[in-house]
């Protein structure tokens, strides 16, 4: 960055088929710039991945509790992918502790909807079938889907390495209807980081990250970057860190 960074406090919330370690490279780059960075884990992920009945409510409350327990203030709260919906609910608990809410190709769920409602019907049906087949309600994406949708910019060996660390995702939170009236009443500033080679949701109007999801935020700051859904978080973390800084700064 050409000028000295304004020091910020980031709380980074990961998405599905990931854990807090997803942020390691990005967090390291942000810390090099003088920022304070936290990456909380939430139920059903990380060491708790065998907790297949973790609910969306448990996940969002865990993030809010983390912010309160660490007495964090002026937080730039970042949600990636499914983490966008977690951030929406967590923000309702701790609005006075937030400086800005940032979505990086994150779900901005419509009040009363579930995550499944925000997916193209064929994708929602695919996830539902995977949950049935698993025997315990979890969803594990097959490699060909994961590689083409989440890691489309990655060389094959990098995609295979990332996929090797993926754990099944609790399926319940995908179908939980979310009451988001408090979120949509928040006056907290918001930003949307759109990664324009992201292939998880179809490009265009009906289900896209931007402008479909982002436009629900009302007034928001838009930052765009050349990345897919997951690859550059691992291989080009400095680029992702720079996008998050632009999204979070004054």
Two tokens at 200? 């998880």
Give me the catalytic one of 81, 85, 114, 214.
Answer: 81
C-beta separation of 115 from 106 below 8 A = no
Residue 92: exposure state from Cβ atoms within 10 A (0-12, 13-18, ≥19): middle
Farthest CA pair distance, the chain: 53
User: Rounded to the nearest 5°, which phi and psi values hold at 5?
Assistant: -70, 145
Determine the 3-state secondary structure of 222 from DSSP.
strand
Find out whether 248 and 191 touch, Cβ atoms under 8 Å: yes
- Paired with 192 in beta bridges are 103, 222
- d(CA 151, CA 93) in angstroms, rounded, equals 33
Known active-site residue 81: yes
- State the sign of the Cα–Cα–Cα–Cα dihedral 189, 106, 246, 25: positive
| Residues annotated catalytic, as ranges | 81
């Amino acid at each position: 960055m050409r000028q000295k960074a304004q020091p910020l406090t980031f709380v980074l919330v990961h998405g599905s088929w990931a854990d807090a370690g997803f942020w390691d490279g990005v967090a390291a780059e942000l810390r090099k710039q003088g920022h304070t960075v936290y990456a909380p884990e939430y139920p059903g992920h990380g060491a708790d991945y065998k907790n297949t009945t973790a609910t969306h409510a448990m996940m969002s409350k865990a993030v809010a509790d983390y912010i309160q327990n660490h007495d964090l203030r002026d937080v730039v709260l970042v949600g990636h992918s499914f983490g966008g919906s977690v951030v929406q609910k967590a923000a309702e608990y701790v609005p006075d502790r937030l400086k800005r809410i940032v979505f990086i190709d994150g779900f901005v769920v419509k009040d009363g909807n579930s995550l499944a409602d925000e997916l193209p019907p064929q994708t929602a049906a695919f996830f539902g079938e995977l949950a049935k087949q698993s025997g315990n309600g979890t969803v594990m994406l097959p490699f060909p889907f994961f590689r083409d949708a989440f890691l489309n910019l990655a060389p094959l060996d990098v995609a295979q390495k990332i996929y090797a660390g993926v754990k099944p995702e609790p399926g319940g939170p995908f179908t939980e209807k979310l009451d988001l009236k408090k979120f949509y009443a928040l006056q907290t500033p918001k930003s949307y980081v759109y990664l324009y080679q992201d292939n998880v949701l179809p490009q265009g109007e009906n289900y896209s990250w931007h402008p479909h999801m982002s436009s629900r935020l009302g007034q928001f700051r838009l930052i765009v970057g050349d990345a897919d859904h997951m690859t550059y978080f691992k291989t080009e973390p400095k680029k992702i860190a720079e996008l998050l800084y632009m999204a979070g700064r004054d």
